[in-house]
Amino acid sequence: DDGRDPRARRWSGNMNDARPLADLTLVEAALRVLRTPSPHDKAAMTDEIHALWVKGAIAREYDPDAPSVDPPSRPARDERVVLVEPGRAPRLGKGGSPESRVAILHSLAHIESWAIDLSWDIVARFGAARSMPRAFFDDFVQVAADEARHFRMLAARLVELGSEYGALSAHDGLWDSAMETAGSLEARLVVEHCVHEARGLDVLPATIEKFRRNGDEQSAQLLEGTIYPEEVTHCAAGVRWFRFLHEREREREGEGEGEG
């Protein structure tokens, strides 16, 4: 099993580009994920891109001579999840019933599925445009791989509990807020990594305790042992690159003053 969603018609999200992932630049690979409708295929493709990037099979961040391609304003999504307004999303409850615990896990899986797209969007939207160093790409490829693993683990846990990703409705407030920062890398880093992810870390210990208190140690361990510590590194990446941008701007201003 290669992890591909059997309901998806094609592996490539770009129907006009059938090149193997190893023949793409990283930004081109990011765009392919964003154009892929199935969240399961997004996760599996992310795993493949991460492996190719780490071993150097995808060697270039982007082609400076190629015309720039804007990421989609909204990533491709299939219809497995019924989208509703935030106020109409299922109530999660306190984890005291199997239904409540499934609702919590489904909500987390939905967040992680969007986090995959957000990771690739920051690569495709800002990497070349802001002339970011290779370490920036390294960090967000790793973030994307972590988010893909989180999604896959949460989706598998839902199946173990007799449900599946897509069984409940959800909202896309996370992506909507991302689009408000589409014109600024600094704003994206602050809003998505220093606010949204930080808030998620603030509430996750209480969520873990809900599962543990109600006898679902397996879900508690999944959140506590894997997702929580890796999300801490994602917040750190946001802070690190915000500081980098600030310091780079200060250096450029200093050079400008020196020339004057």
Both structure tokens of 37: 């409708």
The closest alpha carbon to 233, from 138, 165, 156, 132, belongs to 138
Residue 5 has a pLDDT of: 36
Q: How far is CA 9 from CA 13, 159, 228, in A?
A: 10, 23, 34
What pLDDT sits at residue 15? 47
pLDDT at 242: 97
As a whole number of angstroms, the distance between CA 189 and CA 178 comes to 10
- For position 260, what pLDDT does the model report? 53
The three-class DSSP label of residue 170 is strand
Helix (H, G, I), strand (E, B) or coil at 83: strand
Per-residue pLDDT of the chain (260 residues; tens, 9 = 90+): 334 333 332 333 344 678 999 999 999 999 999 999 999 999 999 999 999 999 999 999 999 998 888 999 999 999 888 777 766 666 666 777 889 999 999 999 999 999 999 999 999 999 999 999 999 999 999 999 999 999 999 999 999 999 999 999 888 877 888 889 999 999 999 998 888 888 888 899 999 999 999 999 999 999 999 999 999 999 999 999 999 999 999 998 887 766 65
The answer to whether 116 and 151 have CB atoms below 8 angstroms apart is: yes
- How far apart are the C-alpha atoms of 194 and 199, rounded to whole Å? 8
pLDDT of residue 179: 86
98: which 2 tokens? 């199997």
Q: In Å, how far are 9, 28, 142, 152 from 44, measured between CA atoms?
A: 15, 16, 14, 9
